[in-house]
Amino acid sequence: MLEAFVFATILLGFFGIIFKKNLVMKTISMDVMSTGVIAYYVLIASREGLYTPILAQAEDVTYSDPVPQAVILTAIVIGFSIQALMLVGVMKLAKDNPTLEISAIEESNTP
Q: What is the pLDDT of residue 6?
A: 94
55-77 pLDDT tens trace? 556 667 676 777 888 888 999 99
Q: What is the pLDDT of residue 43?
A: 86
Please identify every stretch of the chain with a pLDDT value under 50, giving residue numbers as ranges: none
pTM above 0.85, yes or no: no
Give the domain ranges of the chain. Answer: 2-109
Closest CA to 108 of 20, 15, 96, 34: 96
Q: In CATH, which of 3.20.20.70, 1.10.287.3510, 1.25.40.10, 1.10.10.10 is domain 2-109?
A: 1.10.287.3510
Q: What is the pLDDT of residue 80?
A: 93
Q: What is the pLDDT of residue 7?
A: 94
